[in-house]
Structure 1
Amino acid sequence: MGKYFGTSGIREVVNEKLTPELALRVGKALGTYLGGGTVVVGKDTRTSGEMLKNALISGLLSVGVEVIDIGLAPTPLTGFAIRLYGADAGVTITASHNPPEYNGIKVWQPNGMAYTPEMEAQLEAIIDSGNFKKAPWNEIGRVRKADPRKEYIKRALEMVHLDGSYTVVLDAGNGAGSIISPYLQRELGNKVISLNSHPSGFFVRELEPNAKSLSALAKTVKAMNADVGIAHDGDADRIGVVDDRGNFVEYEVMLSLIAGYMLRKFGKGKVVTTVDAGFALDDYVRPLGGEVIRTRVGDVAVADELARHGGVFGGEPSGTWIIPQWNLTPDGIFAGALVMEMVDKLGPLSELAREVPRYVTLRAKIPCPNEKKAKAMEIIAREALKTFDYKRLIDIDGVRIENDEWWILFRPSGTEPIMRITLEAHTEEKARELMERAKRLVKKAIGDIQI
């Protein structure tokens, strides 16, 4: 983590750490880093979006960069627009699934992949140096407005085809997905029932699309006798899915199902996921010709590995999926279309979900001040290796220890002052026992640090 950029760009409380002044400096720094060219800028529905977007655009213009302002736009649409218009970079003003008082700035490469930590570090160095390029009065950049939605839907329909028509309930969480996701589903030939699809910036549910936050979606799917429920977070880079019986399909199960469908659709190959993904994925995709590769948490790490290995599909067990045949930007909207194609070709979700192996996954968050994280991880790594009887160790992002029956991941959050514990075991009893031991270890490690 850098001074400004975390796991997923800059993400802070508005008018505290994330101010118009900072957005202006990020715009100047990005323009200086690029040395000119064109940048696509979009924003999600947050009330602070317009303020931050305009400040960022001012910074870009001041160094002579041309700006394509696509206005209210989910992250996937920004990624699509960068490639559509042949831009040199893109920026989304979004805090993704964080509460409404947050906002953020996420920067994208020409291929639709997020900026890497190394690229963000270079931007930070320029921000702090204040050594910004200044364009003379007659070379200041210009803004033009554009709306890539029609082209996005047109191209998505070239890749996804349904033979039947289905009833889909779509919960956009009052986020930016509401301006395109229901429309794409309708163009696919489905009957669409929209929930929370007025892009107000005031969120009526928790934005992370999980079982708890999607209880209204689940009830609506059941009441309307719908085939599928689809939900997004604030910028629609994620997807949450409810099956035809009104049950939330757990992230791990959905990840396995869609990875398997991608192998069926595009052929055998590598599936990229993160260190917090469970064994079910490996067990489900292996018979379909899939080989699982694990990397650091965060969509940029997944996209990076996909590009490097020429993978078939990449996804995190948080509903963040990257379909490289489409784009290297995480895309919950296109993912929703693929879910419907999978249902169309393979059958109801409730039946498909039964084919995925079920193990017990537990997650915990332990409060941990940011300044204690590095030292705590050192202690945790040292003590975990003594405490648990493990066979394999993965330390590319936090510490993951595993044997054939279970795994535990200790990892500091990149966006919040917490330490995360994720684990999986074959039985509930074993999972609970491991979690108790893991929690004790983490709490002791944090408590032992004197600042």
Structure 2
Amino acid sequence: MGAFKAYDIRGIYNQDFNKETVYKIGFFLPKLLNCKEVVVGRDVRTTSDEIFEALSRGITDSGADVWDIGLATTPMVYFATVHFASGASVQITASHNPAKYNGLKISRTKAVPVGSDSGLKELEMMVLNEPIVVEKKKGTIIKKDAKTPYLAFLAPFVPDTSKLNISFDLSHGMANLLAKDLFGEKPSYLYDHFDGTFPAHEPNPLEEENCRDIKAAVLSNKSDVGVIYDGDADRVMFIDEKGRFIQPDYITAVLGYHYLKSEKGNVLVDIRTSRSTTEYLSKHGAAVHVWKVGHAFAKIKLRELGAIFGGELAGHYYFRDFFNCDSGFLASLIVLEVVADLKKQGITLSSFIDTIIAYANSGEINFKLEEKDKAMDALYERFVTQDKPEKVLDFDGYRIEFPTWWFNVRKSNTEPYLRLVVEAKSNEELQERTDALTAIIKQFN
């Protein structure tokens, strides 16, 4: 079934999945997770209400209760799972995808994610194969207020930003639910009302074209920093005062500036992370651990390691202080505290980021091609079998490391792409290596 992915259930609604699928997911979920209640939140997409109705009908027909928290950011659902001691939760969202998409992010007790290796494949088999037998005693839908306690949880992290000039892009998405409660009316806001059709731009700030307006706002407002959230506010990106997009894995180093002053320990990064970031973190006392891309993997590994925090190239930032989950708002509160601290010292965000960057980096390059496995095999043959690298990581595609450069190639878990990241000591070598890798990949178009 095309909507069941590695980390969640997601696709074009009424094409990859529909309300009948959602009903069955709701019906079998309490059995899968052995629970009597499911926290359910939803984003503002135009199809989310219909999905909520079908999901809730399935859950209650199974005999379990729905704890309805209404409109919610995805991290708010994680918070509610723990706060209300629920055995399961579902956020109805397609995160950063275009408006025609929707989906379901599922967690079990303590907000532990349910991914393909931890229940989603089993749930898919139930949906496809098991008969529906409606319980005589149906469950009920109970409304719960998660926003008030979630804001109370975030309150201690809110920094003094009175000396900062900040521009926000709320992307017409779920960031609108909390932003002004946390940051007040003083900052400049773009797209600060809900619209599930996302008329201004797609709610994916990792695509720099979607950051065009926030970049312009930072420059016209003479802001110290720009902040832009994705559709469900589990991810956040930043723009420096020069209007430059900050590659999200560099923000992991910014979080290190905050945390590593008071505590040394494990920090988690994904397999695409720049050496600029890992070297900065190591220099400041972190034991850096590299792991697979994706929240369903990162949260489990963070918990295993007892890591202080973690970060991904896609703009997910995970926190031990937040049940090992990701939160766009918590990340932005901490980054803004750092920006305020730097400003007191007369240091701009751009100059601080420039001290972190020690390598030329391609960012993530996407190739849409059919023969992804053959392309990866060809790269392995050329750069591992023939060239004998210093190090090979093979748990999420390949990260192949040489003394002055490295690359990671991996298949996307959510989209039909082969993704490539290249980094080198100089721009010249970066161009040379990227051209060589691209030439091999394009043979399999």
Taking structure 1 as the reference length, the TM-score comes to: 0.91
**What does residue 316 of structure 1 align with?**
312
Q: How big is the shift at 1:12?
A: 0.8
Q: State yes or no: 1:338 paired with 2:337.
A: no
The question of 1:258 aligning with 2:231 is answered no
Aligned to 2:121: 121
Contact 1:26-1:59 within 8 A present in 2 as well:
yes
Do residues 201 (structure 1) and 196 (structure 2) align? yes
Q: State the shift of 1:177 in Å.
A: 1.3
Amino acid at match of 2:355: E
- Tell me the CA shift for residue 376 of structure 1: 4.6
List alignment gaps of at least 5 residues for structure 1: none
**Cα distance in 2, alignment partners of residues 134 and 368 from structure 1:** 44
Q: 1:388 to 1:432 in 2, by over 3 A?
A: farther
Q: Give the secondary structure class of the aligned counterpart of 2:23.
A: helix
> Aligned equivalents of 1:393 and 1:133: distance in 2?
50
The whole-number CA distance in structure 1 between the counterparts of 2:338 and 2:314 is 19
Cα separation, partners in 2 of 1:388 and 1:436, compared to 1, 3 Å = farther
- The residue correspondences of 1:245-324 to structure 2 (distance < 5 A) are 245-265=242-262, 267-324=263-320
Deviation of the 1:431 alpha carbon: 1.2
- CA gap 1:286/1:206 in 2 versus in 1, 3 angstroms: same
Equivalent position of 2:227 in the other structure: 230
Q: Which moved more, 1:95-104 or 1:215-224?
A: 215-224
Q: Counterpart of 2:151?
A: 153
Instruction: State the alpha-carbon separation in 2 of the partners of residues 42 and 10 from structure 1.
Output: 15
Give, in whole Å, the separation in 1 of the partners of 2:387 and 2:196: 45
Q: Distance in 2 between matches of 1:81 and 1:394?
A: 36
Tell me the alpha carbon deviations over residues 168-202 of structure 1, each in whole angstroms, 9 at most, x when there is no partner.
Answer: 2221111111111232122xxx7222211211112
Letter in 1 for 2:173: G
Instruction: Mark the CA change 1:299 to 1:193 in structure 2 (over 3 Å): closer, same or farther.
Output: same
- Note the alpha carbon deviations across 1:46-83, whole angstroms, 9 max, x for none: 11111112111111111111111112111111111111
Q: State whether residues 175 and 199 of structure 1, in contact with CA within 8 Å, keep that contact through their aligned partners in structure 2.
A: yes
Alignment of 1:30-429 (within 5 A): 30-118=29-117, 119-132=119-132, 134-136=134-136, 139-162=137-160, 164-186=162-184, 191-203=186-198, 204-210=200-206, 211-265=208-262, 267-347=263-343, 348-362=348-362, 363-369=364-370, 372-374=371-373, 376-386=375-385, 388-429=387-428
* Cα distance change on mapping 1:37 and 1:175 into 2, 3 Å: same
Structure 1 CA distance for aligned equivalents of residues 180 and 403 of structure 2? 42
Match of 1:439 in 2: 438
Secondary structure at the counterpart of residue 215 of structure 2: helix
Contact 1:43 1:71 in 2 (8 A): yes
Say which is worse superposed, 311-320 or 207-216, in terms of deviation. 207-216
Distance 2:111 2:304 in 1: 15
| Contact 1:42–1:92 under 8 Å retained in 2 | yes
Secondary structure of 2:409's aligned partner: strand
Unpaired segments ≥5 residues, structure 2: none
Q: Partner amino acid for 1:309? A: L
- Is the CA contact (8 Å cut-off) linking 1:97 and 1:235 kept in structure 2? yes
- Offset from partner CA, 1:13-55 (integer Å, 9 cap, x none): 1110121111111111212212332111111121111111211
CA distance in 2, matches of 1:342, 1:403: 33
Looking at structure 2, the residues matched to 141 and 308 of structure 1 have their Cα atoms a distance apart, in angstroms, of 35
Partner amino acid, structure 2, of 1:192: P
CA distance in 2, matches of 1:383, 1:246: 39
Show CA shifts across 1:285-307 (max 9, x none).
11211111111110121111110
Distance in 2 (CA, whole Å) between partners of 1:50 and 1:75 is 16
SS in 1 for 2:320: coil
Q: Specify the SS of the correspondent of 1:354.
A: helix
In the alignment, the residues of structure 2 paired with residue 425 and residue 303 of structure 1 have an alpha-carbon distance, to the nearest angstrom, of: 29
Deviation at 1:353, TM superposition (A): 1.5
- 1:133 positional shift: 5.7
Render the CA deviation track for 1:329-348: whole Å, top value 9, x for unaligned.
Answer: 21101111111222233334
Q: CA RMSD in A?
A: 2.0
Q: 2:423 is aligned with what amino acid?
A: E
Q: Distance in 2 between matches of 1:35 and 1:301?
A: 22
Give how far 1:352 is off. Answer: 2.2
Aligned equivalents of 1:279, 1:331: Cα separation in 2:
24
Q: Which amino acid aligns with 1:146?
A: K
Shift of 1:389: 4.7
Question: Shift of the alpha carbon at 1:141?
Answer: 0.9
